[in-house]
Amino acid sequence: MPTFRAPRGTRDLLPAERSAMLRLEAVAAALASRYGYRPIETPLFEQTAVFERGIGDATDIVEKELFRLAPRTDEGEAWALRPEPTAGIVRAYVQHGMQTLPQPVKLALIGPMFRYDRPQAGRYREFWQFDVEAIGDPGPAVDAEIIELADRFYREVGVADPEVLLNSIGDPVCRPAYVTELAAFYRAHADRLPPLERQRLERNPLRLLDSKEPAMVELNASAPVITEHLCDACAAHFEGLRAHLDALGIRYRLDSRLVRGLDYYIRTAFEVYPRDAAGQQSAIGGGGRYDGLVELLGGRPTPGIGFGLGLDRIVRVLEAQGAPTAPDPAAPVAVVVGADPAATAERLRVATILRGAGLAARSELAPRKLGKQLEAASRDHAHFAVIVGDELGNGQVQLRDLEAGTQKAVALDDLAREVARAHASHHHGTAPSP
């Protein structure tokens, strides 16, 4: 039994899973750059007030999921690990005067988030997200761009037929009247509300629509619908968003019960699910518009929209769908072996030459027989074995194509160039060209 284990609610990303995550991160970074979203990184922890003010103190995240820190020194600040990236990015936008830059400011972040809620199956206290934010554009065209970017990401990483759920949740002009009607509805059914929802009813009735309590599902199905209460501006924005999505060919499903679980959202709200898996614990990403958040965190009134896509959940979806998650990045192009088991320095020198030329190469450093070295190279799925023998004195080595079963002598000075050329032009089962 191991003496030490990873903290409860966390896990080690072993090579296979970390490789799968790295593939997703590479696709995310490439897409963000292609769409003009520039990279940003914020601290893993912030002043607690950044999240309490920005996310809302009646949300699940602040009520029971905020991962609070206890500083050893008395600095007069309360800190918490970031549970989501948007509030920290907006804080950085305000702090560094990004409102003076050409708008919108488009930013992307890929990294870990933290929540302290009780761990559940597939739900960890440390998890990874791909996040983009467009700050300074009131939309609706940029809303469509954000949703299309999310949809493209899922399709490029291999998620089969992702489903976008879409809603408008109004704004400070039209939402208050809706919230009043919603609160009256819930008060009429107070006897059916779980204890936590009764508390939330007085602080933020909209949160009840986002409740994960099973008892709320049936009740929420008959609750008033927010899209029937939109003001003209919100209705026009929603209509414009849908027109842009239709023009882009993005399929989506309207869900009038969808509200995002953070207080800063207005108007556009969306979530993405694996096809036929819609449910509160099944979302693999989502986002929305937050036109009041910059002002809440000390800036001038500025519109914004963004998304956060869960990389951990996407890996699980890909595995469940039987899709390839990632090739093994450690699989070498060539393994350097030798006829003399003790000649490890010679093998290491040849491998170093290949690595210096940008090729993935492993050197057999254990003093074992050539046959065992070649068996290990095959298990590593190497394309070539470079056999170091007596020919090295004449500046040559033997290059064996492990897939084609062919072998030839190659000058050491030409080895890296020949391996790179043969590997690039290789077709399974055929020998490299002479």
> What pLDDT, on the 0 to 100 scale, is given for residue 122?
66
| Domain edge (last residue) among 292, 320, 348 | 320
Same domain for 286 and 365, yes or no, is no
List helix spans (H) across 96-192.
Answer: 141-157, 175-188
Same domain for 304 and 356, yes or no, is no
Same domain for 285 and 410, yes or no, is no
Is 142 buried (19+), middle (13-18) or exposed (0-12) by CB count in 10 A?
buried
> What pLDDT, on the 0 to 100 scale, is given for residue 429?
41
Same domain for 309 and 355, yes or no, is no
> What pLDDT, on the 0 to 100 scale, is given for residue 322?
84
For residue 164, the cross-strand partners are: 252, 272
> What pLDDT, on the 0 to 100 scale, is given for residue 361?
94
- In eight-state DSSP terms, residue 99 is G
Q: How many residues does the chain have?
A: 434
**Alpha-carbon span 342 to 364, nearest angstrom:** 10
| Domain edge (last residue) among 277, 292, 320 | 320
Quick one: tokens of 51?
């999240």
- Give me the average pLDDT of each 10-residue run along the chain (434 residues): 85 89 94 96 91 60 69 74 92 96 96 82 85 95 97 93 92 89 89 83 80 80 88 95 96 85 80 72 87 91 95 90 72 92 93 94 92 92 93 92 91 93 68 40
* 197 belongs to a structural domain: no
Same domain for 124 and 57, yes or no, is yes
> What pLDDT, on the 0 to 100 scale, is given for residue 135?
97
Our count of domains for the chain comes to 2
| 3-class DSSP state of 85 | coil
Count other Cβ atoms within 10 Å, centred on residue 196. Answer: 15
Same domain for 246 and 285, yes or no, is yes
> What pLDDT, on the 0 to 100 scale, is given for residue 244?
97
| Domain edge (last residue) among 320, 343, 377 | 320
Q: pTM (2 decimals)? A: 0.84
For residue 337, the cross-strand partners are: 387
> What pLDDT, on the 0 to 100 scale, is given for residue 388?
94
Same domain for 62 and 106, yes or no, is yes
Torsion of CA 322, 323, 329, 335, to 10 degrees: 60
User: With contact defined as beta carbons under 8 Å apart, do 47 and 189 qualify?
Assistant: no
Domain that holds residue 359: 334-425
- The secondary structure of 353-376, three-state, reads HHHHCCCCEEECCCCCCHHHHHHH
Crossing angle (nearest 10°) for helices 195-203 and 175-188: 150
